[in-house]
Structure 1
């Protein structure tokens, strides 16, 4: 070191370089060994024994530090054990790995760039003002990462932001490459279809690539990126105004393609969400503002809504993603609902959940302004009834939603109630904990007059259906008519019909008694709440003009006004609130619930 001080570092460098056969060779050796070090740089707890001359030559940061009159303030107050200066860079972007690569360039050692370290080196070089290193990393990035969307996706897949301007520089360019490739893939795709098996006996996985395989791949890869990158890339694709409706004009396999991409190629539910969200937003953005908007693209609309419905239930614990899905789902429900009569295939072909279906039907009935006399109206009702059967068979619908779907359409819309009866019958067997009131409410949905003869006969053999007072009345009337036609001499038939009449009468009395007790209990509860007197049904049972008694309910309870001498005031009873007439027949009693 004494020699260095007396002759100067430049002289020593020249002598040593000449002795070892070249400046570059000597410079690279002292970088590796740390010989003749006159400055120590500490980064993230790691020390680098370096030489001030190469640093000053390559880094504006070090030049500005030593050129400042107070340059020593940037250095540690104490020198190292060997008398060298110590520089601490605790918050250097890129950390120790990035600093090491950037410093190598100062010693004429070309860094070994990879997708894992190039951003680290660039961030450190930017902080230290190493322009040659920045230019070197730029060439690597444009040649190896920005040149193709696959390389850009691969880089973003493993990239962790550094908190440097390098983040925006690299991320922006990678996403730009990816979005351009996505838009180009949509534009170049002429036909949408799922991969097909090469033959009927081909093994699983031995599939023929589809014409849109490139589109499927890039879309899935983009959706599989970390959320921040996936959201930004797919948002930019939506803004690119790619018209998905045009794709439906060139192929009828949209649904199979969507099922293949979402269910088979996406490896995670997050990726599935991003694909469905992106395509749904692209579709609604490019859709016309006036009808028809589903006529040529209903496969897109309904298939995407089908997947949205499923994903909402899958990601119940992820509130942020579920909110995104629900926002788009509401828009899709409304558009599909308003255009139900424009579908190019049956609605029941899709797998909508009960809540989604009732939302679609609600929009159709309330805002779609359907014509009850239009044939499409009846077709949609038949489709909905098929849904009801499938829901009942799987036990995936509650009675309230079931009733809501049936009553969503006017009674005149259904010419047949066969499917409704079968669905109610099935629901009774697949759903547990249905209350008696709910069962009666379900059976009341079935209009016996709209049942076919075969289903009508089956219905009258169903104990639950038959227990309805108005059905029992109808049966009694029917048996009475049969009895009137039987000759007096035909004792056998007369006895058979009489037995039916007796059985139906007993059942009717039993049901009326049970329902009368329920009504009385409800009135007692109501009277207790209003402070009035109980209304006794038994008081009006006497002298009923019909064999099937016809009770008369007192519809008001009278309480004396607190003001002395005033007239009695009337407190409405349960019957008043239910708009029940003073004289009730069996049908009225039955409907009290």
Structure 2
């Protein structure tokens, strides 16, 4: 049988840094060529088959007639550099296993099937020993090994060896150990020491974690949460990772520079992953709003935005006005994202409703009453003030529709505002910024204002405001007339008395359950407290007027008649705190009210002071 033709080419020398094949087997020529990523290696079968199961199988399948074998190893982990190290191990040449090459060596050994079945202390065993005794015992070395898994191709081979999984667990365990050591050192330490300076900051490893890819980082954070790492450390790590990963995507101008949306997709994955990793504990509001703004810009998933809005609603009473001013990305729309704030308010009110129901259940089951009032009512009053300021801020926007503006006003219940001055200011600014509104639209907008809850200053301004409908001005003047009559006649506590009578008359009906009766009493109690708050506001106004009156009396102390007149007027105005007024005082009050009303309606209206 004829021999097949062999190409008449001179074999290339081995590509190793040292010609060790000649030195070890000086009288034996290379008999196998292995190509890795296009780079050929001229080697010898004997040392390879002694340690590599894969090459042993390949050699067994080769025909005996071939003098020089040629084969290729596709998708070799780590490429030619790692293959050279693996071959050195087969030839018995010493080299150092390091953090930077241990992952590639372990995967290459698995690829070549360098197990204990062929040789004791084979490459897989050596790499595993290094991982267990060196890499996984240190947090920063575990992070470095995990980063090496990111650059290894193909990446699924590292997962086959369970290297990322073990790195993640090692990082979590070492982080918890660092946390425990730090706590003990703070208890036992008497003075600063050089050894503890690094651990003095419980998050020294956060910078290392920021180098991880988002999928590996998410696995690490999840493992940390399972092993009991403090939520504060996890939140700090999430904030730092977001700050490092979301650079350059903060506004619409930078967003347009992204190439083919690749970076935008990466940023979207980062935001969605970080939001999914939030612990149960409260996350800082500034971070939540920052993530929400970025999420709006890059259009994250709806579920991610809703989760951010829900978490913001859990602590909405602590927000500032600047936090709520979320810009809109789309052109031609309003300046600020009103829909997002509206959804946040819906979540907040749902939370308040649940808290009130829970408190009702608790008080009903225990048989006690919380007449001091729930904490959720105080939160609702704070949010009411914040929303009024927000309405005033967005009101001048000409692109803001009346429907969105009224929806934001009407979503809050009446008891969320002690006074309507902030609401009046917002509506006045909206009317000023939208002069094309019809008379009917102005009327529907002004219906939200309760003239009984306006201060003296707001009533004075509304009475002269030519942007308000006539009906609104009449309501304000009528309320002022009633208020002045009550002040002069000492009946300003009438509303409080009625509320008190209403509360005391809440007798359970046979058709109403005791739980519903208790809830009704709670609502009436809340209305009573609001009435008390309004009376306090009126009292502060009277005290201011009293101070002005005293100042006037001091300035005119040399004129006895004038002093007596001022004193009598002051006593008449403060009769709310004295006995019942006489018939003469009532007649004077009526005459003063009529003259004041005529002067108000006849006076020219001025521009808005707000």
**Cα distance between partner residues in 2 of 1:166 and 1:222:** 19
Maintained 8 Å contact 2:51/2:114:
yes
Match in the other structure for 2:389? 389
Change (3 A) 1:473 1:358: closer
Match in the other structure for 2:54? 61
**Cα distance between partner residues in 2 of 1:430 and 1:212:** 57
**Cα distance between partner residues in 1 of 2:439 and 2:26:** 89
**Cα distance between partner residues in 2 of 1:147 and 1:238:** 19
Structure-to-structure mapping, 1:471-550, within 5 angstroms: 471-472=473-474, 475=477, 485=591, 499=602
Match in the other structure for 1:230? 217
The counterpart of 1:146, out of the listed 126, 136, 139, is: 136
Change (3 A) 1:153 1:322: farther
Match in the other structure for 1:355? 342
**Cα distance between partner residues in 1 of 2:24 and 2:434:** 78
Match in the other structure for 2:165? 172
Match in the other structure for 1:314? 294
Maintained 8 Å contact 2:321/2:390:
no
Alignment gaps of 5+ in structure 2:
1-17, 116-121, 185-195, 250-266, 327-340, 358-369, 486-587
**Cα distance between partner residues in 2 of 1:34 and 1:431:** 98
Structure-to-structure mapping, 1:226-265, within 5 angstroms: 226-242=213-229, 244=231, 261=240
Q: Secondary structure at the match of 2:348?
A: helix
Change (3 A) 1:222 1:472: same
Maintained 8 Å contact 1:243/1:282:
no
**Cα distance between partner residues in 2 of 1:227 and 1:327:** 21
Match in the other structure for 1:160? 151
Q: Secondary structure at the match of 1:281?
A: coil
Tell me which moved more, 179-188 or 346-355.
346-355
**Cα distance between partner residues in 2 of 1:76 and 1:438:** 93
The counterpart of 2:304, out of the listed 325, 330, 336, is: 325
Deviations 1:1-46 (A, max 9, x none): xxxxxxxxxxxxxxxxxxxxxxxx9845458999821111122222
Q: Secondary structure at the match of 1:87?
A: strand
Alignment gaps of 5+ in structure 1:
1-24, 192-208, 249-253, 284-299, 341-345, 505-593
Match in the other structure for 2:428? 425
Change (3 A) 1:232 1:264: closer
Maintained 8 Å contact 2:406/2:445:
yes
| Cα distance, 1:156 vs structure 2 | 2.5
Question: So what's the TM-score if we normalise by structure 2?
Answer: 0.55
| Cα distance, 1:229 vs structure 2 | 0.4
Deviations 1:197-241 (A, max 9, x none): xxxxxxxxxxxx999864434345435521210121122223335
**Cα distance between partner residues in 2 of 1:444 and 1:51:** 94
Instruction: Verify: 1:447 aligned to 2:446, yes or no.
Output: no
Deviations 1:308-347 (A, max 9, x none): 343133134656x64563364365357558xx7xxxxx55
The counterpart of 2:175, out of the listed 169, 175, 182, is: 182
Change (3 A) 1:444 1:179: same
**Cα distance between partner residues in 2 of 1:411 and 1:172:** 55
**Cα distance between partner residues in 2 of 1:231 and 1:50:** 43
Change (3 A) 1:172 1:392: same
Deviations 1:458-508 (A, max 9, x none): 2223322x22524246549989x99x94999x9xx999678459x99xxxx
Tell me which moved more, 148-157 or 398-407.
398-407
**Cα distance between partner residues in 2 of 1:263 and 1:433:** 45
Maintained 8 Å contact 2:48/2:55:
yes
Maintained 8 Å contact 1:358/1:404:
no
Higher RCO (Cα < 8 Å, 6 or more apart): 2
Q: Secondary structure at the match of 2:40?
A: strand
Deviations 1:411-430 (A, max 9, x none): 24433111222233345567
| Cα distance, 1:394 vs structure 2 | 5.8
Match in the other structure for 1:130? 114
| Cα distance, 1:102 vs structure 2 | 0.6
**Cα distance between partner residues in 2 of 1:233 and 1:318:** 25
Match in the other structure for 1:84? 68
Maintained 8 Å contact 2:218/2:273:
no
Instruction: Verify: 1:36 aligned to 2:29, yes or no.
Output: yes
Maintained 8 Å contact 1:220/1:275:
no
Change (3 A) 1:265 1:453: same
Maintained 8 Å contact 2:242/2:271:
no
Q: Secondary structure at the match of 2:278?
A: helix
Pairs aligned (count): 415
Maintained 8 Å contact 1:266/1:272:
yes
Tell me which moved more, 377-386 or 363-372.
363-372
Question: So what's the TM-score if we normalise by structure 1?
Answer: 0.56
Match in the other structure for 1:526? none
